[in-house]
Structure 1
């Protein structure tokens, strides 16, 4: 008897493992949000239902539509990012919101989706191998444009998230030297806030001089190499001198305070009632949960609302207080499984567009996850980075859902093409 192999339906090609983890995080996140604020949880439920409806819309489009409309979508989000300077509403010191009656929306969330799509489309062209290096640097430029517009709103937190795309470009062949150079600039920026510029410049000069002589292959000095090292020295020196000025002039007072507290002791009486207040009670809430936690809705610090913005940036300290070390570790494990699954699905994509987009999604979620947990534990300044699918925020929850399910849609099409 001849058996006819039945083609799988679109639903059967969906990776249900990642969908189940997504549902778990929504459910667990909603429970913790409800514990912090019933009113916020009620509003979040509306966005969750709207996101579910958006999933249905996402699956109506074919993968080819996401490719060919990516350029128009990217230009549209740039238009929104520029428009927010003129039509946006100032909330918490940042003019980064459009407000329509009871609904507020951040175009920066939309730009994460559009930037992921445009980079994926650009680097998946047929002739990409011939001009790969050029296209990679064009992609860097496409990342910088929206991130600068967001930075000057000012919303430095959302702007930093765009650094996640550098990891995507590294996967596609961007030089490790470029990545290390960016990390060096970040280190020098932070160091220049507390160390004399002259000391840093002397260290830069000494290190470059040492590298130059160690790499010199003969006793003759190559003028091109000398000019290159001289250029690097001048650029880094100017960067170090300008960084404190940039810090003072372009970052608002509360942004400066959030960075400065990393160099201070938030338990000191001088800081505990002002810039160290959030961090102090965040650490206290997490530590007070001990091993098994105080129990659901029994967190005294949570119920007393001692931690400002606990429903958004500091939602993780609710987990630490009410679910303890065990609950926190379980949540972290689920996030790591979730991100790992996205990377696994990305790597198996036959279509380059789907692979690049998948890595972009995984990297965005990873950077949000890593920075948010670092913030609540005092390892990173508080810069308004939410915990994906967990923190309160309609536009952020919606954008994460759309990012994830566009990729799931691409993966389902990829699996269908392999049958």
Structure 2
């Protein structure tokens, strides 16, 4: 796709975007709680309102692609600061919906600034890391980068909106591409594993597993040392590491019972199988799993899903939109959506790797990471594999803020990539 004679925009990415938006709108039309389906342009219904958001998203795309590409790098920090101010303003001017003060009320519509903060943070991270003499191997630069990423998340958590804050873990992918060791990710995965393992089998069993595991690792390291003539492993380091893991495991129950809210504890308990609550907190997940499972291979057909048409899945047009696809389009339709998302993420990585500008490459990896986290957590949540944390499915869940936020996030990178291509054609 070309605009003018200088820039060529990645057609594959644009087509995938259009396909996901279209499938999302059809699914919202199907999942919308209406008695009788009238005109698709009925602006009193969710699907009619979504058409307005889609039309305005097209305007946003045209605006972004027409902008000077240098604007994003030059004003990335300013955009980030404005985004932080918009998040802080919620504590004073925000509108509370479903127990969270995450929206601004603008007449008949609401705006959720956290959806736009992801793009702003990606721009800020890309701008800082692309600076001269900046390296993640430098402790100071690493801490500043971590602060840039953590600050909006820390503002979002007390709204409370832990789901949106969780997405900021996606920036690890960009940091790893720029030199951050996988050791940091390993620490996070070990912490999650110890936390969940302690909840499932208890801290004493986890302590035994830690001791045995650390002893095996120590013996293997000694064996490798003799084989490859490496320095002798320090036993005290393994003892300290094992002790820290044990202390963390022993503190898990206190963290779980005193620092998490009841609804989050209940959702984790349900996913881990510690409790069954198909009529209470677990109702959403249970009905969602029933809906997806009942779709079979080819689905029940558009507007024919009993769970969807009966309104049994709460919030189906937003966070649980994938369950409508699974029921009415079946395994084939659900697989198509998954393939489209995987294709988009893979395409974004390829586009990021071909960038000659470090700012564009870092931003591209941030975008790919954010889409992956949203896709992975939302699908896992709908299938009952992960707790319900209120993360929308990009381009498909109902809502103007989400659609516009993801559109801005994606098409800034399409613009940056188009600018690169202008030098090759």
Work out whether the TM-score is over 0.5.
yes
Whether the 8 Å CA contact 2:115–2:401 is kept in 1: the answer is yes
Structure 1 partner of 2:12: 17
Whether the 8 Å CA contact 1:154–1:251 is kept in 2: the answer is no
Whether the 8 Å CA contact 1:350–1:414 is kept in 2: the answer is yes
Give the 3 Å change call, closer, same or farther, for CA 122–231 of structure 1 in structure 2.
Answer: farther
Q: Does 1:48 align with 2:54?
A: yes
Write the distance in 2 (CA, Å) between the matches of 1:199 and 1:75: 47
What does 1:149-298 align with in structure 2 at a 5 Å threshold? Answer: 149-212=155-218, 214-215=220-221, 225=234, 228-264=237-273, 271-298=277-304
Write the distance in 1 (CA, Å) between the matches of 2:384 and 2:5: 44
Structure 1 partner of 2:325: 319
Write the distance in 2 (CA, Å) between the matches of 1:418 and 1:372: 38
Give the 3 Å change call, closer, same or farther, for CA 92–248 of structure 1 in structure 2.
Answer: farther
Whether the 8 Å CA contact 2:79–2:120 is kept in 1: the answer is yes
What does 1:10-409 align with in structure 2 at a 5 Å threshold? Answer: 13-37=8-32, 39-128=45-134, 134-212=140-218, 214-215=220-221, 225=234, 228-264=237-273, 271-409=277-415
How many pairs are equivalent? 407
Deviations 1:359-398 (A, max 9, x none): 1111111111111111111111111111110011221111
Give the 3 Å change call, closer, same or farther, for CA 215–141 of structure 1 in structure 2.
Answer: farther
Give the 3 Å change call, closer, same or farther, for CA 349–10 of structure 1 in structure 2.
Answer: farther
Give the 3 Å change call, closer, same or farther, for CA 225–111 of structure 1 in structure 2.
Answer: farther
Structure 1 partner of 2:41: none
Structure 1 residue 399, shift from structure 2 partner: 0.6
Deviations 1:295-328 (A, max 9, x none): 1111111110001110111111111111111111
Whether the 8 Å CA contact 2:7–2:421 is kept in 1: the answer is no
Partner-residue secondary structure (3-state), 1:350: coil
Whether the 8 Å CA contact 2:125–2:145 is kept in 1: the answer is yes
Whether the 8 Å CA contact 2:135–2:141 is kept in 1: the answer is no
Give the 3 Å change call, closer, same or farther, for CA 26–255 of structure 1 in structure 2.
Answer: same
Give the 3 Å change call, closer, same or farther, for CA 130–251 of structure 1 in structure 2.
Answer: closer
Partner-residue secondary structure (3-state), 2:422: helix
Whether the 8 Å CA contact 1:313–1:387 is kept in 2: the answer is yes
Partner-residue secondary structure (3-state), 1:258: helix
Give the 3 Å change call, closer, same or farther, for CA 89–283 of structure 1 in structure 2.
Answer: same
Whether the 8 Å CA contact 1:10–1:413 is kept in 2: the answer is no
Whether the 8 Å CA contact 1:128–1:135 is kept in 2: the answer is yes
Give the 3 Å change call, closer, same or farther, for CA 202–18 of structure 1 in structure 2.
Answer: same
Structure 2 partner of 1:4: none
Partner-residue secondary structure (3-state), 2:201: coil
Write the distance in 1 (CA, Å) between the matches of 2:417 and 2:263: 42
Structure 2 partner of 1:3: none
Deviations 1:38-57 (A, max 9, x none): 62112222222222222222
Q: Does 1:411 align with 2:417?
A: yes
Unaligned runs of 5+ in 1: 1-6
Write the distance in 2 (CA, Å) between the matches of 1:130 and 1:175: 9
Deviations 1:75-118 (A, max 9, x none): 22222323323332322222222223322222221221111111
Partner-residue secondary structure (3-state), 2:277: helix
Partner-residue secondary structure (3-state), 2:395: coil
**Bigger shift: 8-17 or 311-320?**
8-17
Write the distance in 2 (CA, Å) between the matches of 1:223 and 1:84: 55
